[in-house]
C-alpha cells in the first residue's frame, strides 16, 4: 500500500507532466494560427489557377499533357503519405494508416511504391510495407519549393511510366475537432477534364482573351502548377489537422493531469487525517492508561 511519501512523488510527477502538456498546447495553438494564415494565403492562388485553367481549356482543342495521359504501366503505383513528424497528436497517424490499409486491401491489383512525408506513418507502415523513400525537410512545415520538389520527383517517375498512377494519403482538415483520412489520385490529373466539361456545359462560354502566348503554352505551365499547388494545399490541410489534434490532445491530457492531482491530493489528505486520528487515539489511550495506574 502506498504511503504519503509515494503519493507526494506521484503528485509532483503529475505536476511536471501538466507543465509539459500545457506548454505543448500553447505551442500547438500558436502553430495552428500560423498555418491557418498560410492556408488563407494559398487558397486564392489555387482558386485563380483553377479559374484560369477552366477558361483556357475551352479554347484548347486536342490538347495533351504528360500529366493528363494514362501511363503504359498498369500495375505499379506510387502512394505519397503525408503524416506528422512528431507524436502526441492523438489518433492522427493511426487513423491515417488505418485508412491506407483499407485502401490497399480494396485495391490489391496494384503494386505500391510508398513515399512518406513525416516519420510517424513510415515507422508504423515499415512493419508491413517497403518504404521507397522518406522525404525530410529543414522544418516541420515544408515550403512551397520543397513540396514542388516532391511533386516533380513523383511526376518524373510517372512521366517515365515507372508507375501508372500517383495517389496521395493525408488527413483532410474539417474543423477544430474533426479531420478525415483521405486517399485520392493526383496523377494522371482528372481535374483538367472536369473543369473543361464544366466550362463547356455552362450557358455562357468564358471570354476569349488574347494571350501573349498560345493557349497550349499557357496550359503547359498551368497544369504542372495546379498539380503542385494542389499537393501544397493538401499538405497545409494535413498540418492544420495535426496542430489542431495535438492542441486538443494536450488539452485533454492537461485535464487528466489536473484530475489525477486532485484525486491524489484528496487521497493524501485522507491518509494524513487517518494518521493524525490514529496518533490522537494512541495519545488518549496512553493518557487513560496512566490515569488508571
pLDDT tens string 121-146 = 888 888 888 899 999 887 878 899 99
The domain total for the chain is 2
Mean local confidence (pLDDT), 206-214: 68
Task: Calculate mean pLDDT across residues 47-59.
Answer: 81
pLDDT given at position 26: 93
pLDDT above 80 (res 104)? yes
Helix (H) or strand (E) holding 233: helix 215-292
Instruction: Give strand pairing partners of 76.
Output: 111
Q: Which of 52-61, 90-99, 265-274 has the lowest mean pLDDT?
A: 52-61
Task: Please give the Cα distance from 178 to 82 (Å, whole number).
Answer: 17
Which CATH number belongs to the domain containing residue 9 in this structure? Answer: 1.10.287
**Residue 102 above 80 pLDDT?**
yes
**When comparing pLDDT for 17 and 204, which is higher?**
17
Domain assignment present for residue 293? The answer is: no
**Cis bond leading into 87, ω under 30°?**
no
Summarised one tens digit per residue, pLDDT across range 279-288 is: 777 777 777 7
Q: Same structural domain for residues 238 and 255?
A: no
Instruction: Label the pairing between strands 179-187 and 165-173.
Output: antiparallel
Q: Do 236 and 39 contact (CB within 8 A), yes or no?
A: yes
Q: State how far Cα 218 lies from the chain centre.
A: 33
Q: Are residues 258 and 146 in the same domain?
A: no
Cell triple for 279: 496518533
Cβ atoms of 82 and 238 within 8 Å: the answer is: yes
pLDDT for the residue numbered 72: 77
CA angle 198, 201, 205 (to 5 degrees): 90
Whether residue 227 is found in the same domain as residue 273: no
Q: Let me know whether 122 and 150 are in one domain.
A: yes
Does residue 7 surpass a pLDDT of 70?
A: yes
Residue 47 CA: distances (Å) to CA of 40, 156, 180, 206, 233? 11, 25, 22, 16, 11
Band of pLDDT at residue 245, cut at 50, 70 and 90: very high
C-alpha 266/C-alpha 260 separation (Å) is: 10
- The answer to whether 64 and 192 have CB atoms below 8 angstroms apart is no
What domain range includes position 257?
4-18+249-288
| Order of all β-strands in the sheet with 131-135 | 131-135, 111-117, 76-82, 165-173, 179-187
Amino acid at each position: 500500500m502506498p504511503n504519503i511519501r509515494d503519493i507526494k512523488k506521484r503528485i509532483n510527477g503529475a505536476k511536471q507532466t501538466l507543465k509539459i502538456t500545457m506548454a505543448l498546447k500553447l505551442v500547438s495553438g500558436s502553430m495552428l494560427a500560423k498555418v491557418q494564415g498560410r492556408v488563407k494565403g494559398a487558397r486564392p492562388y489555387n482558386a485563380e489557377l483553377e479559374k484560369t485553367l477552366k477558361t483556357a481549356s475551352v479554347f484548347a482543342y486536342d490538347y495533351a499533357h504528360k500529366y493528363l495521359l494514362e501511363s503504359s504501366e498498369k500495375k505499379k503505383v506510387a502512394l505519397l503519405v503525408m503524416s506528422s513528424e512528431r507524436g502526441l497528436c492523438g489518433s492522427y497517424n493511426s487513423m491515417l494508416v488505418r485508412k491506407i490499409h483499407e485502401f490497399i486491401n480494396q485495391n490489391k491489383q496494384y503494386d505500391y511504391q510508398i513515399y512518406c512525408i513525416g516519420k510517424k506513418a513510415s515507422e508504423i507502415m515499415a512493419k508491413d510495407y517497403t518504404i521507397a523513400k522518406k522525404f525530410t525537410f529543414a522544418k516541420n512545415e515544408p515550403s512551397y519549393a520543397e513540396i514542388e520538389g516532391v511533386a516533380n520527383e513523383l511526376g518524373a517517375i510517372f512521366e517515365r511510366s515507372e508507375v501508372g498512377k500517383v495517389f496521395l494519403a493525408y488527413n483532410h482538415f474539417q474543423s477544430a475537432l474533426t479531420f478525415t483520412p483521405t486517399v485520392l489520385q493526383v496523377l494522371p490529373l482528372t481535374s483538367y477534364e472536369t473543369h473543361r466539361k464544366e466550362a463547356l456545359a455552362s450557358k455562357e462560354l468564358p471570354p476569349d482573351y488574347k494571350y501573349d502566348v498560345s493557349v497550349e503554352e499557357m496550359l503547359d505551365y498551368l497544369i504542372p502548377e495546379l498539380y503542385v499547388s494542389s499537393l501544397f494545399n493538401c499538405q497545409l490541410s494535413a498540418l492544420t489537422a495535426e496542430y489542431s489534434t495535438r492542441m486538443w490532445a494536450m488539452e485533454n491530457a492537461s485535464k487528466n493531469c489536473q484530475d489525477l492531482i486532485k484525486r491524489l491530493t484528496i487521497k493524501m489528505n485522507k491518509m494524513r487525517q487517518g494518521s493524525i486520528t490514529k496518533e490522537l487515539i494512541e495519545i488518549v489511550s496512553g493518557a487513560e492508561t496512566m490515569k488508571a495506574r
